[in-house]
Copies of this chain bind each other. A is one copy, B any other.
Amino acid sequence: MPRMTTLLQSDDGLLYATLADHLAQAIHSGEVRTGERLPSVRSLATRYHVSISTAVQAYRHLENQRLIEARPKSGYFALRPRVSLPEPTQSKPPQAPRFVTTSTLFVDYIKTFDRPDVVNLGALLPDPTLFPNEKLARILGNVARRQARLAGAYSGGVGEDQLRHAIALRGLENGCRFGAGEVVVTNGCVEALNVCLRAVAKAGDVIALESPTYFIMLQMIESLGMKALEIPTHPRTGISLEAFDLATQKKGAVRALMITPSFSNPLGSLVPEANRRALVQLCEARGIAIIEDDIYGDLHFTGARPLPCKAWDRTGNVLLCSSFSKTLVPGYRLGWAVPGRYFEDVVVLKRIGSVFTAPLTQLAVAEYMESGGFDHQLRKLRKTLSGNADRIGELVAETFPEGTRMTRPEGGYVQWVELPAKINTVDLFYRMRELGIHTSPGALFTSTPRFKNAIRFTLGMEWSRKFEQAIARVGATAIELGK
């Protein structure tokens, strides 16, 4: 067992992550052998001069990575390390905000996934078999008959009370205290993000983002004439608090932070609780609205559901956005915003954007939620996603060029792979498209000329041999392109 004589130092003060890395290295190197017992939490804490809770967190992290296992009443034991690639490092975007310009790449990209015959490795379009479609069909049929009159009516602009109530209840379970009256039901999370962004910012304003980030956020910023400021982001712990602090010190420099703290897209990073709390406080103090995309929050592979930033919001400065599209029913287009102090503005923007959200599907989802099936559905889904992450991880390690790095997500729908620098993944995208394989090139996820060697994998497939073959094909083509 290696020793460190000095106190651990960490870039973002995340002691536990540094400690976990240190131990992981020892396991990978063989210094700690498979099956060997690790120090107790108490002796780990003493040895590295950290608190008990930091030691616990470090072990939990290694469990998530399946490098150790906890045996009841015996302690922690090293597992055989899977073939696994090193993780990408923290991103280093340029420090100036910039207007966004969409390339033709985006248009080609969305055109490709409208084709039904492709093997989809890239687009975040879950397989329909992941969802309880038959049960929902029965409920919707019943609701449509019982509430036929709703088809003929203009409903309220904020959504159906029954669904708003169900959303507020889940919020409460996740540590967020908002009432049903604070919820605005939207056409999916994207509409929620859109109205929230327009409620807090106007053309010319600067919006801070993770880097890389969800391309639809960049597109929105472009279409509204705002500027994007990408912040250095770590593939495991998310946005760098130090970098964000530095970038926002000048009053008014940044109008809003658009962030996916839980299993971000495309990195899959998970912002630690301490950093969430710090972000909420920092943004409140500096007049920066937080638009929080929590769409993957329910999809943690292990441990407890991460609390949204909204859980620490005491002033209504966090605009929480989410949806059922990644967990229950993509085809209903049901999302929501809890816009805090921007509620009235969001209501007006929703009204002038799409008037109201169709009520029948809202009632169907509310009934489904009341039936108690949602938690079972989530458990099943998490298992599928986490299994796919393992499979893809192994296949990439086997078939991709030497020097490839890969994230190890602890939840969510994505895995991010960085290939050797000379491999251009836009070329790769077009090459694979010809073969009927859909990949997501890294260039989509930034407003700057970076990530040209990265691709994002989706985890939302019903696994089959065709995905194995497709991944091997991508790997082989990448090796060829790197020559």
- A→B interface (CB under 8 Å): 102, 106-107, 110, 114, 125-131, 133-134, 136-138, 140-142, 144-145, 148-158, 186-188, 190-191, 194, 198, 202-203, 216, 219-220, 223-225, 325, 329-333, 344, 347-349, 351-361
Closest Cβ neighbor of A215 among chain B residues:
B352
- With A136-B144, A136-B148 known, 10 other A-B pairs at CB within 8 A are A107-B344, A128-B150, A129-B152, A133-B149, A133-B151, A140-B141, A153-B331, A203-B203, A216-B352, A219-B352
- Whether the pair A358, B359 counts as a contact (CB closer than 8 A) is no
CA A155 to CA B330, docked complex, whole Å: 9
Q: Which residues from chain B contact A331 at a C-beta distance below 8 Å?
A: 150-155, 358-360
Main secondary structure on chain A at its contact with chain B? helix
Question: Within the complex, which residue of B129, B202, B357 is in contact with A333, where a contact is CB–CB below 8 Å?
Answer: B357
Q: Which residues from chain B contact A191 at a C-beta distance below 8 Å?
A: 353-354
- Top 6 nearest A-B pairs (CB, nearest first) are A128-B152, A141-B141, A131-B152, A137-B148, A187-B354, A203-B203
Q: Which residues from chain B contact A136 at a C-beta distance below 8 Å?
A: 144, 148, 151
Copies of this protein in the assembly total 2
Q: Given A154-B331, A352-B223, are A137 and B128 also a contact pair (CB < 8 Å)?
A: no
Q: Given A152-B128, A152-B133, A329-B152, are A190 and B352 also a contact pair (CB < 8 Å)?
A: yes
CA A144 to CA B329, docked complex, whole Å: 13
- Whether the pair B354, A188 counts as a contact (CB closer than 8 A) is yes
CA A359 to CA B358, docked complex, whole Å: 12
Distance of A414 from chain B, by nearest CB (Å)? 15
Q: Given A148-B133, A148-B136, A152-B130, are A353 and B353 also a contact pair (CB < 8 Å)?
A: yes
Q: Given A145-B137, A348-B102, A360-B140, are A114 and B153 also a contact pair (CB < 8 Å)?
A: no
* Interface hub of A144, A186, A219 (most chain B Cβ within 10 A): A144
Q: Which residues from chain B contact A126 at a C-beta distance below 8 Å?
A: 152, 154
